């Protein structure tokens, strides 16, 4: 029995160099994530999984460009390039990732009207993905997080995990971020640290 689980956040082609929403050095986390996988029995992967008409895509808002911010149904929303479309190669897990070791996949961002950075809840905290409930059923109390992107999906997954009562560690060497504004990644790490996430370097 184990009370630990590894959470692989959005290790998908579109977040790797050459992808639609490439995270700089995103590919470098894959071998590090594989090394972490070897030390866990319970491994969860989150998967950004958008329908083509998703409201976070700039292309679905005439006149808007990627990386502009809009109000989307009452929530502030950064507009992104079309990425991680359900069933498309960009949404698939990164090549080389030990996908055969993944215990369970939680998909998010499926509702076109709202984005979902966290693996636990959508950005309005309206609907649960079922991740917290599933982890508790397995007896999990402690989480190690890694993946992409530090300043979006990793950060919101970590903060929700704390709020759900899990002990949370972030493995920085297996994490990279977007840095839309310089310093975003450093600020995200500080926010996680000050909220109670143990930062492992």
Residues that bind Zn ion (CB under 5 A): 48, 109
127 classed as catalytic: no
- Map residue 99 onto helix, strand or coil: helix
Task: Give the total of residues touching ligand VGL (CB under 6 A).
Answer: 9
- Tell me how far apart the alpha carbons of residues 170 and 17 are, in angstroms, rounded to a whole number: 22
How far apart (Å, rounded) are the C-alpha atoms in residues 73 and 30?
35
**21: its two tokens:** 């929403």
- The residue among 105, 123, 3 whose CA lies nearest residue 55 is 123
10 is catalytic: yes
Binding ligand VGL by CB under 6 A: which of 5, 7, 8, 10? Answer: 10
Residue 184 annotated to the active site: no
What does the block give as tokens for 101? 């070791």
CA dist., res. 76 & res. 123, Å (int): 9
91 binds, among Zn ion, ligand VGL, none (CB under 5 to 8 A by kind): none
3-state secondary structure of 104: strand
27, 48, 122, 160: residue in contact with ligand VGL (rule CB under 6 A): 48
Q: Is 122 in the site for ligand VGL (CB under 6 A)?
A: no
In the complex, what is the shortest distance from the CB of residue 195 to ligand VGL, in angstroms, rounded to a whole number?
18
Summarize as ranges the residues that interact with ligand VGL (CB under 6 A): 10, 15, 48, 80, 117, 148-149, 152-153
**Active-site amino acid positions:** 10, 108, 153
């Amino acid at each position: 029995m184990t009370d630990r689980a590894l959470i692989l956040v959005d290790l998908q082609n579109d977040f790797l160099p050459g992808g639609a929403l490439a995270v700089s050095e995103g590919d470098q986390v894959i071998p590090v994530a594989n090394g972490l996988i070897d030390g866990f029995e319970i491994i969860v992967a989150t998967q950004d999984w958008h329908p083509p008409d998703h409201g976070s895509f700039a292309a679905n808002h005439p006149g808007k460009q990627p990386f502009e911010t809009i109000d989307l149904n009452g929530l502030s929303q950064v507009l992104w390039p079309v990425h991680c479309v359900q069933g498309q190669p960009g949404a698939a897990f990164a090549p080389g990732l030990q996908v055969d070791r993944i215990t369970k996949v939680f998909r998010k961002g499926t509702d076109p009207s709202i984005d979902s950075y966290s693996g636990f809840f959508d950005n309005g905290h309206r609907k649960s993905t079922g991740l917290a409930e599933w982890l508790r059923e397995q007896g999990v109390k402690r989480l190690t997080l890694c993946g992409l992107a530090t300043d979006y999906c990793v950060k919101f997954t970590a903060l929700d995990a704390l709020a759900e009562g899990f002990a949370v560690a972030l493995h920085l060497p297996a994490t990279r971020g977007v840095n839309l504004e310089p310093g975003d990644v450093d600020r995200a790490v500080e926010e996680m640290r000050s909220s109670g996430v143990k930062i492992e370097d």
